[in-house]
């Protein structure tokens, strides 16, 4: 990577930190905000000698059946509360009788295996941490262990990929938003069984290159197409992809191309939503960081609705 490009990314990172400090707030303010949200519980867990924090959203049951569990991972500089607001998954939990798990990363990052985040550089065992809080939650709440799902945005999406590879047995399915497989992970791991995977990526993402390459100092990643085909190989899918293009909202500058591999071992599915012309935003809304362009938003789909629809249909 050239010195000019490296300096450009460093400037973006510094600006992001400065801009987001007041937005992300301190822990005490987060805990106060959490206490005001009905059905939200604040938790701590001691891991590697550090007190880690997470939130559980547990709406009142509409029936006595065991609930699905969805683990939701924030992006770099985010938090559990931030991604809760961003995804608006609580409303889906109320409608569908779900329990949601929103953990906080180490220094607002996840050790996703690329090697460059604060969590990776400090040797944080996020795989172990996330596995532990899933197991604790399964013990204490009425959850169906066969309906545990994981999703994440950006750094959280890369961490989702790591969990699906290293702890495949924990999950029924996973979804990564504006994130792919990293070279480091593919060299070291493969899933222990076929598993359902969904991707949502913008073709013009200025931060995570759709066509692969380096994400600033955070390491090299596969392209979306390479990622899709790698999962197809792991799931022993037919190489025939079903492709469909939709553009329900003509007011934005994007179109959605859906590529689906649905003839796979154990009825698993690998699906990719390519947002043609889209950027690094969470699909369905426009994220905002002052002075930093995240590219075009899309309003053709709502990512949370599409992710939950995918989780519901997998076997």
For tokens 């559990």, what's the residue? 80
Nearest 5°: phi and psi at 150? -135, 140
Residue 20 has pLDDT above 60, yes or no: no
Residue 287: its pLDDT value, please?
85
| 3-state percent helix, strand, coil for the chain, nearest multiple of 5 | 35, 25, 40
Residue 24 has pLDDT above 50, yes or no: no
Residue 300: its pLDDT value, please?
97
Quick one: pLDDT band at residue 255, thresholds 50, 70, 90?
very high
Residue 21: its pLDDT value, please?
44
Topology of domain 3-313, CATH? Rossmann fold (3.40.50)
Least confident of 33-42, 167-176, 231-240, 241-250: 33-42
Residue 186: its pLDDT value, please?
97
Residue 17: its pLDDT value, please?
45
Residue 4 has pLDDT above 60, yes or no: no
Question: In this predicted model, which residue has the larger pLDDT, 2 or 26?
Answer: 2
What integer is the mean pLDDT of 139-164? 97
Highest mean pLDDT among 23-37, 62-76, 265-279: 265-279
Q: What's the whole-number average pLDDT of the chain? A: 90
Q: What is the C-alpha to C-alpha distance for residues 178 and 196, in angstroms, rounded to an integer?
A: 17
Residue 218: its pLDDT value, please?
83
Gyration radius of the chain's alpha carbons: 18
- Two tokens, residue 65: 């059946």
Residue 131 has pLDDT above 90, yes or no: yes
What integer is the mean pLDDT of 258-274? 97
Residue 230 has pLDDT above 60, yes or no: yes
* 155-170 pLDDT, tens digit each: 999 999 999 999 999 9
Annotated domain spans of the chain:
3-313
Residue 293: its pLDDT value, please?
85
* Closest to 278 measured CA to CA, from 289, 270, 286: 286
Burial label for 3, CB within 10 Å (0-12, 13-18, 19+), is exposed
Residue 25: its pLDDT value, please?
46
Residue 40: its pLDDT value, please?
97
* Closest to 116 measured CA to CA, from 230, 26, 205, 6: 6
Name the pTM for this structure.
0.89
Residue 15 has pLDDT above 70, yes or no: no
* 268-312 pLDDT, tens digit each: 999 999 999 999 999 999 887 767 789 999 999 999 999 999 999
Q: What is the C-alpha to C-alpha distance for residues 71 and 284, in angstroms, rounded to an integer?
A: 20
Quick one: pLDDT band at residue 139, thresholds 50, 70, 90?
very high
Residue 174: its pLDDT value, please?
98
């Amino acid at each position: 990577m050239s010195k000019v490009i490296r300096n450009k990314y460093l400037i973006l990172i510094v600006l992001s930190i400065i801009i987001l400090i007041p937005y992300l707030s301190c822990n005490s303010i987060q805990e106060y905000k959490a206490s005001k949200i009905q059905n939200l519980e604040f938790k701590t867990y001691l891991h590697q000698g550090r007190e880690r924090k997470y939130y559980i959203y547990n709406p009142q049951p509409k029936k006595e059946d065991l609930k699905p569990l969805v683990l939701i991972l924030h992006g770099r500089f985010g938090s559990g509360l931030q991604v809760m607001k961003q995804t608006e998954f609580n409303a889906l939990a109320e409608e569908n009788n779900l329990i949601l798990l929103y953990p906080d990363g180490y220094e607002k990052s996840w050790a996703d295996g690329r090697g460059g985040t604060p969590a990776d550089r400090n040797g944080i065992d996020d795989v172990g941490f996330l596995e532990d809080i899933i197991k604790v939650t399964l013990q204490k709440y009425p959850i169906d262990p066969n309906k545990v799902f994981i999703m994440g945005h950006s750094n959280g999406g890369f961490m989702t990929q790591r969990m699906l590879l290293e702890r495949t047995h924990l999950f029924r399915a996973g979804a990564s938003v504006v994130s792919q497989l990293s070279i480091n992970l593919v060299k070291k791991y493969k899933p222990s069984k076929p598993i359902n995977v969904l991707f949502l990526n913008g073709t013009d993402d200025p931060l995570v290159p759709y066509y692969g390459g380096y994400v600033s100092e955070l390491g090299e990643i596969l392209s979306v197409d390479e990622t899709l085909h790698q999962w197809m190989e792991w799931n022993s899918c037919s190489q025939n992809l079903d492709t469909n293009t939709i553009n329900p909202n003509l007011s934005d500058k994007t179109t959605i191309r859906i590529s689906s591999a649905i003839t796979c071992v154990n009825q698993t599915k690998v699906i990719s939503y390519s947002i043609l012309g889209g950027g690094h935003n969470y699909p369905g809304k426009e994220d905002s960081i002052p002075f930093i362009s995240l590219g075009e938003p899309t309003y053709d789909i709502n990512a949370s609705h599409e992710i939950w629809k995918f989780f519901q249909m997998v076997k």
